[in-house]
A = this chain, B = another copy of it.
């Protein structure tokens, strides 16, 4: 298992991907949300959202709980501690990239 094989600027693709960045950022404020909420928020197809959630879950960034609400299935997605840490770290790195991208490099 590769930890975070030094992407440029340390930006983890798993988090950086637009759809997942939206999902994680929203979850870091909401704590949890259901499938359809995220579907509308991110503007994805269901299939698409499903596979993004698989990846986030596989990486331990979210937990997916399937339960019944009345008689209907309902999928609840919750952000984990390391999920929250990952988004926050990601935004920090983006800030660094934006504002300190040239530090330590000689001007050409």
Contact = CB atoms under 8 A, between A and B. Distances in A.
A69 B30 CA distance: 56
A106 to B, nearest CB: 8
A53 B27 CA distance: 35
Secondary structure at the A interface, as helix, strand, loop or mixed, is: helix
- One complex includes copies of this chain to the number of 2
Nearest to A36: B108
Contacts of A18: 7-9, 11, 13, 16
A94 interface: yes
Given A8-B42, A30-B107, A40-B105, 9 more contacts: A8-B44, A9-B18, A11-B18, A21-B97, A22-B101, A29-B101, A30-B108, A33-B108, A37-B108
Interface of A: 6-9, 11, 13, 16, 18-19, 21-22, 25-26, 29-30, 32-34, 37, 40-44, 91, 94, 97-98, 101-102, 105-108
9 contacts: A8-B19, A9-B22, A25-B97, A30-B102, A30-B108, A37-B108, A41-B102, A41-B105, A94-B94
